């Protein structure tokens, strides 16, 4: 990364007008997508990238070039994907809260739609009575109730989960009846979570789903055409390499052993990968604006241009979300100074705005460049409007055979007008 940052400095991409930026390693992302496709080469597997992880158009276009689909958590994300060029049938619409208007639009657009609950089933059923076009894949999300991973707030397979219909011994017959009564329900969907979920829990959820598939084949033979096993797969924020225990090839091997029906070719099988594809392709950089070192026996505070504006989880839940950091001098060279403990503060106007505390870094100076590693997912996509800090630019980069670095601008730094346009009309409009 040193050669990349030195090139950033040479091109003057970090300056007063642009004191922070995100870099995206195109070669790395292409390798991750190739790894997924190699692990599941069968034509009946359909891999959808999670748009909520990284909605940047240029990143999504790379996924489209690899013939990935798009998993969307809102109708806006689905429209975003279609405008980029994703085929409607490979756009998976997964929002847990859909209005009747949105459900009708999803059917009209031909989206692969996963319904969340009985009300959505009733609304779609009523609409289909007057619908005359080709019917897209419409599935029902099942909560396999296999329990939480290590991070409860993003584990979606507990009894208390707000997502889907819980599958228990008490609810099994009721779920089967939903499919029998609605023969247009041709898909079934699960998703147990992402980060902090061990591999075996992803597999356990699919084992539960496989059992339900057997019962559905008895209750309504041949009705189910598409099986969406969800995603995530976890990755690591503490290691510089993807963890061996979350390799796509290992996931495939465990699924093939315990859920062989997925590999029979009987069903179209959908996966939804986000963080495991994008996280390690991204690195964020910010200039160290100021170093405060006033109080003896207390860590110096680095004030930077990135904080809760782009890293809300890290600020509010530092015990769970913590990145790796590196410090470079103003020319982009690795700092060699003595290590010390520092706290890293952001630009937001509240005391909790810290990227991290108790970080060991070389002795910092104003003008240094701080690298925040593993930021390719769930950072820019969670950008916060508080204080109206303008969002960073994003650049993709590649290396040629000789190692030369080439940049492409994926997103220019947000302008003042773009930032402030969020806050409504110049004058009120009478209704």
The predicted pLDDT at position 112 comes to 98
Give 10-residue mean pLDDT values along the chain (431 residues): 93 96 97 97 97 97 98 98 98 96 98 97 98 96 75 57 87 96 97 80 91 96 97 86 89 96 97 95 98 93 97 89 95 94 97 96 97 96 95 96 94 96 95 95
Q: What is the CATH architecture of 2-23+280-411? A: Beta Barrel (2.40)
In Å, what is the CA distance from 381 to each residue of 50, 93, 178, 305? 11, 18, 35, 17
The predicted pLDDT at position 154 comes to 47
Residue with tokens 């390719």: 376
Q: What is the CATH architecture of 94-273? A: Alpha-Beta Barrel (3.20)
Q: Under a CB-based contact definition with an 8 Å cutoff, are residues 303 and 289 in contact?
A: yes
The predicted pLDDT at position 200 comes to 87
Instruction: Write down the domain spans for the chain.
Output: 2-23+280-411, 94-273
The predicted pLDDT at position 107 comes to 98
The predicted pLDDT at position 91 comes to 98
Rounded to 5°, the CA angle 72-283-249 comes to 60
Q: Report helix angle 248-258 to 199-219, nearest 10.
A: 40
Q: How many CA atoms within 13 Å lie on the side-chain side of 260? A: 1
- The CA dihedral of 338, 355, 59, 28, to the nearest 10 degrees, is 30
The predicted pLDDT at position 197 comes to 77
In angstroms, the CA 213 to CA 272 distance is 19
Q: How far from the centroid of its chain's Cα atoms is residue 300's Cα?
A: 33
Q: Under a CB-based contact definition with an 8 Å cutoff, are residues 108 and 133 in contact?
A: yes
Its pTM stands at 0.93
Do 2-23+280-411 and 94-273 have matching folds?
no
The predicted pLDDT at position 171 comes to 92
């Amino acid at each position: 990364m040193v050669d990349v940052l030195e090139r950033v400095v040479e091109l003057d991409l970090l300056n007063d007008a642009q004191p922070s930026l995100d870099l995206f390693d195109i070669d790395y992302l292409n390798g991750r997508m190739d790894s997924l496709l190699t692990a599941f080469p069968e034509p009946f597997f359909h891999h959808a990238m999670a748009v909520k992880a990284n909605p940047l158009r240029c990143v999504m276009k790379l996924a489209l070039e690899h013939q990935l689909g798009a998993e969307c958590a809102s109708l806006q994300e689905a429209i975003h994907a279609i405008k980029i060029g994703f085929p409607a049938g490979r756009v998976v619409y997964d929002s847990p809260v859909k209005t009747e208007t949105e459900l009708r639009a999803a059917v009209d657009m031909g989206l692969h739609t996963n319904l969340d609950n009985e009300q959505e089933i009733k609304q779609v059923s009523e609409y289909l009575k007057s619908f005359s076009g080709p019917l897209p894949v419409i599935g029902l999300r099942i909560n396999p109730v296999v329990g939480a991973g290590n991070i409860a707030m993003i584990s979606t397979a507990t009894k208390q989960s707000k997502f889907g219909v819980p599958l228990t011994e008490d609810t099994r017959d009721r779920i089967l009846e939903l499919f029998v009564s609605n023969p247009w329900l041709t898909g079934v969907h699960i998703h147990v979570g992402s980060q902090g979920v061990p591999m075996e829990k992803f597999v356990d959820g699919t084992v539960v789903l496989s059992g339900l598939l057997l019962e559905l084949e008895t209750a309504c033979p041949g009705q189910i055409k598409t099986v969406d096993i969800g995603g995530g797969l976890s990755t690591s924020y503490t290691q510089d390499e993807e963890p061996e225990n979350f390799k796509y090839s290992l996931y495939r091997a465990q699924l093939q052993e315990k859920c062989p029906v997925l590999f029979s070719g009987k069903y179209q099988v959908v996966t939804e990968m986000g963080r495991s594809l994008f996280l390690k392709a991204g690195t964020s950089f910010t200039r160290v604006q100021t170093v405060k070192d006033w109080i003896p026996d207390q860590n110096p505070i680095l004030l930077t241009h990135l904080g809760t504006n782009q890293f809300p989880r890290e600020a509010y839940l530092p015990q769970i979300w913590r990145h790796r950091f590196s410090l470079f001098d103003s020319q982009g060279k690795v700092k060699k100074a003595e290590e010390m403990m520092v706290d890293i503060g952001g630009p937001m106007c509240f005391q909790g705005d810290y990227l991290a505390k108790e970080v060991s870094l070389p002795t910092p100076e104003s003008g240094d460049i701080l690298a925040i590693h593993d930021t390719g997912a769930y950072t820019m996509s969670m950008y916060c409007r508080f204080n109206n800090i303008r969002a960073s630019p994003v650049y993709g980069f590649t290396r040629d055979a000789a190692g030369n670095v080439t940049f492409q601008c994926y997103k220019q730094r947000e302008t003042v007008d773009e930032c402030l346009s969020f806050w409504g009309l110049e004058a009120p409009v009478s209704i």
